[in-house]
Amino acid sequence: MTMKAVEITKPGAPDVLQICDRPIPVPAYGEILIHVAYAGVNRPDALQRAGAYAPPPTASPLPGLEASGEVAALGEGVTEWAVGDKVCALLPGGGYAEYVTCPATHALPIPTGMGMKSAACLPETYFTVYSNVFMRGDLQAGERFLVHGGSSGIGTTAIQLANAFGARVFTTAGSDEKCKICSDLGAERAINYRDEDFVEIVRAAGGANLILDMVGGSYIARNIKALANEGRLVQIAFLTGPKVELNFAQIMMRRLTITGSTLRPQSDLAKTRIANALREKIWPLLDSGRIAPVMDQEFSLADAARAHTRMEAGDHIGKIVLKVR
């Protein structure tokens, strides 16, 4: 039995993504097979396509780190799901395909009233935001939180979650339109980084207790300046580069913490713990409609290259998805 999928024919630009036929995977012990409805499109997919983010040795070489669909088969030892259950799941890879396997403990139920299209946007983004902002960054109610790239999938999620848990949210975005959307989602102050200096604005408010950054480069030193004493910087990506010169005396004198993580290389157990925390803390907010993913555009599976082109252009607001079936 074969399925349609999108493969990376060689490292390169979006046009290296091509439709292919692949065998339908078989779930191993502790895994489920998902008949994919939609797959989320994320920047790590583009990094993998460019040859800069190799999948783990045991993962599918196909791109795609999140998907929604129905459980089509159960691996041995799986008791928490049944064939036909509707789920969304964090994947080790392989989401750009009609079928994909993943550990059963990395799947979550579709939130009440939510369609498959929106649900496909939850796993990669919510696992990343919750684990970095709340588990690693320890954001507390009343604290000042700055997230860069507020109109991205990560940014729109972080704004909503931080606001829902009582933090004061500041964010940066590249246009007045994007800033307005960030404000509508709950940001106290949305800063157009083309016209304003986020360091001055955040420092005037008392400094950030926590910053979530995916820009890197020159932003790293500026983030240090924007932090309040005993503030925390959590780094999750480097759109403009990972190497900078820093004055560590400031970190010592002001008792700052710099940390960060990437999601994909973490152990199955670590991802299961994040999934359990999401089910307990975040899924009730999604079930009630208090928070929801912000959607940008839908592409067909065959148009994965166009989806990557849109994402890399930086004009999107919220999440991009591929309709698989």
Mark whether 248 and 147 lie in a shared domain: yes
Whether residue 137 is found in the same domain as residue 45 = no
Query: What span, in angstroms and rounded, lies between the C-alpha atoms of 45 and 264?
Result: 11
Same-domain pairing of 151 and 233: yes
Average pLDDT score over the chain: 97
- Model confidence pLDDT, tens digit, residues 38-60: 999 999 999 999 999 889 888 99
Are 256 and 310 members of one domain? no
Q: How far apart are CA 243 and CA 109, in angstroms?
A: 40
Pairing of strands 189-192, 168-173: parallel
Judge contact between 81 and 69, C-beta under 8 A: no
Chain segment 117-169, per-residue pLDDT in tens: 999 999 999 999 999 999 999 999 999 999 999 999 999 999 999 999 999 99
What distance, in Å, lies between the first and last C-alpha atoms of the chain?
Answer: 17
Q: Specify whether 193 is located in the same domain as 103.
A: no
Statement: residue 85 has pLDDT above 90: yes
pLDDT tens-digit series, residues 206-230: 999 999 999 999 999 999 999 999 9
Pair (135, 218) in one structural domain: yes
Shared domain for 23 and 116, answered yes or no, is yes
Domain match, 224 and 150 both: yes
The answer on 141 and 86 residing in a single domain is no
Mark whether 33 and 139 lie in a shared domain.
no
- Encoded tokens for 283: 């899924």
Give the least confident one: 111-125, 195-209, 239-253, 295-309.
239-253
Same domain, 133 and 228: yes
Q: Is the pLDDT of residue 5 over 90?
A: yes
Predicted pLDDT of residue 285: 98
Q: For the domain that residue 200 is a member of, what is the CATH number?
A: 3.40.50.720
The pLDDT assigned to 33 comes to 98
Q: Which residues of 85-108 are buried (b: 16+ CB within 10 A; e: fewer)?
A: bebbbbbbbbbbbbbbbbbbbbbb
Residue where a domain terminates, one of 208, 236, 260: 260
Q: Is the pLDDT of residue 325 over 90?
A: no
CATH of residue 290's domain is 3.90.180.10
pLDDT of 8 higher than 90: yes
Residue 155 shares a structural domain with residue 217:
yes
pTM summary value: 0.95
Domain range enclosing 12: 2-122+266-323
End position of a domain, from candidates 260, 284, 309: 260
Total domains in the fold of the chain: 2
Which of 260, 283, 314 is the last residue before a domain boundary? 260
Percent of the chain scored above 70 by pLDDT? 100
* Residue 218: partners with Cβ closer than 8 Å, 6 or more residues away: 240, 244
